[in-house]
Chain A
Amino acid sequence: MAGPPDLLDLRLVFVTGKGGVGKTTVAAGLSQLAAEHGKRVLVCEVDAKGDVTSLFEASPTDFTPREIAPGIWSMSMDTEASLREYLKLHLRIPVVGRIGPLAKAFDFVATAAPGVREILTVGKLCWEVREAHYDIVVVDAPASGHIIGQLAAPQAINDLVKVGLIRGQTDWMLDILSDPRQTGLVAVCTPEEMPVNETLELVTRVREETTVRMSAVIVNRVLPELFSLREEKVFEQLREPEVEAMLSERAGGTVTPVLEAARLAVTLRRTRSVHLQRLQAGLPEGLPVLLLPYLFARSFGARTTRQVAYALGEELGL
Chain B
Amino acid sequence: MTTTSDGEQKTVGRLLAAKDIVIACGPGGVGKTTTAASLAATAVVEQGGRVLVLTVDPARRLADALGLKGIGNDEVRITDDVFAEAAAHPRGELWAAMLDTKQSWDDLIRTHAPDDETCQQILANPLYQNISGRFVQSHDYIAMERLYQIHCEGKYDLIVVDTPPTRNALDFLDAPQRMADFFSSRLLRWLIVPYRSRLVNVASRPFYQVADRILGTQFLADISEFFILFQSMYSGFIERAEAVTRLLSDRRTTFIVVSTLEATPVREAEFFSSELTARKLHLGAIVLNKVLPEYLRDPNADKLAQSMQARAAELTDGLTEDPAVAARVVDEVAESFLNFGVVARREAEQQAELKGAPDVLVTVPFYDADIYDMSGLLRLGAQVWG
- Which residues from A are CB-within-8-Å of B59? 193-194, 197
Report B104-130 residues with CB < 8 Å from chain A CB: 126-127, 130
- Contact assessment for B320 and A91 in the assembled complex, using a CB-CB cutoff below 8 Å: no
- Contact assessment for A115 and B304 in the assembled complex, using a CB-CB cutoff below 8 Å: no
Report B250-287 residues with CB < 8 Å from chain A CB: 260, 262-265
CB contact between A264 and one of B185, B214, B260, B366 (< 8 Å): that residue: B366
- Which residues from B are CB-within-8-Å of A91? 213-214
Report B271-328 residues with CB < 8 Å from chain A CB: 293, 295-296, 298, 300-301, 303-305, 307-308, 311, 314-316, 319-320, 322, 325-326, 328
Report B339-386 residues with CB < 8 Å from chain A CB: 339-343, 345-346, 366, 368-370, 372
- Contact assessment for A20 and B265 in the assembled complex, using a CB-CB cutoff below 8 Å: yes
| Residue A251, interface by CB 8 Å | yes
| Residue B182, interface by CB 8 Å | yes
Rounded to whole Å, the gap between the CB of A208 and the closest CB of chain B is 14
Given contacts A108-B188, A271-B369, contact A149 B136 (CB under 8 A): yes
Rounded to whole Å, the gap between the CB of A241 and the closest CB of chain B is 13
Report A143-179 residues with CB < 8 Å from chain B CB: 143, 145-146, 149, 156, 160-167
A-B pairs with CB below 8 Å: how many?
221
CB 8 Å contact bits of A273-295 with B (1 = contact, 0 = none): 00000000000000000000000
- Contact assessment for A297 and B342 in the assembled complex, using a CB-CB cutoff below 8 Å: yes
Q: Which of A91, A160, A193, A234: most chain B CB closer than 10 A?
A: A234
| Residue B155, interface by CB 8 Å | no
| CA distance in complex: A160, B187 (Å) | 21
| CA distance in complex: A265, B211 (Å) | 59
Report B212-236 residues with CB < 8 Å from chain A CB: 212-219, 222-223, 226-227
Given contacts A102-B210, A105-B211, A261-B295, contact A164 B216 (CB under 8 A): yes
Given contacts A193-B370, A262-B337, A265-B336, contact A163 B134 (CB under 8 A): no
- Contact assessment for B187 and A108 in the assembled complex, using a CB-CB cutoff below 8 Å: yes
**Chain A: interface residue total (CB-CB under 8 A):** 76
- Which residues from B are CB-within-8-Å of A194? 29, 33, 59
Rounded to whole Å, the gap between the CB of B269 and the closest CB of chain A is 11
| Residue A3, interface by CB 8 Å | no
| Residue B205, interface by CB 8 Å | no
Report B138-172 residues with CB < 8 Å from chain A CB: 165, 167-168
- Which residues from B are CB-within-8-Å of A113? 127, 130, 219, 223
| Residue B131, interface by CB 8 Å | yes
| Residue B207, interface by CB 8 Å | yes
- Which residues from A are CB-within-8-Å of B305? 258
| CA distance in complex: A93, B135 (Å) | 28
Q: Which of B28, B131, B298: most chain A CB closer than 10 A?
A: B28
- Contact assessment for A251 and B307 in the assembled complex, using a CB-CB cutoff below 8 Å: yes
Which B-chain residue is minimally distant from A189 (CB atoms)? B29
- Which residues from B are CB-within-8-Å of A197? 59-60
Which residues of A does B touch, CB under 8 Å? 18-21, 24, 47, 49, 51, 91, 93, 95, 98, 101-102, 104-105, 108-109, 111-115, 142-143, 145-146, 149, 156, 160-167, 192-195, 197, 224, 226-227, 230-231, 234-235, 237-238, 243, 246-247, 250-255, 257-262, 264-265, 267-268, 271, 296-300
A-B contact pairs, 12 of them (CB 8 A): A20-B28, A21-B29, A109-B215, A112-B223, A114-B130, A114-B136, A160-B130, A193-B59, A224-B336, A257-B296, A257-B337, A262-B337
Which residues of B does A touch, CB under 8 Å? 27-30, 33, 59-61, 126-127, 130-131, 134-137, 165, 167-168, 182, 185, 187-188, 190-191, 206-207, 210-219, 222-223, 226-227, 260, 262-265, 293, 295-296, 298, 300-301, 303-305, 307-308, 311, 314-316, 319-320, 322, 325-326, 328-330, 332-334, 336-337, 339-343, 345-346, 366, 368-370, 372
Given contacts A108-B191, A142-B167, A238-B319, 11 further A-B contacts (CB under 8 A): A24-B264, A98-B206, A109-B223, A164-B214, A166-B214, A234-B329, A254-B304, A257-B301, A264-B368, A298-B342, A299-B263
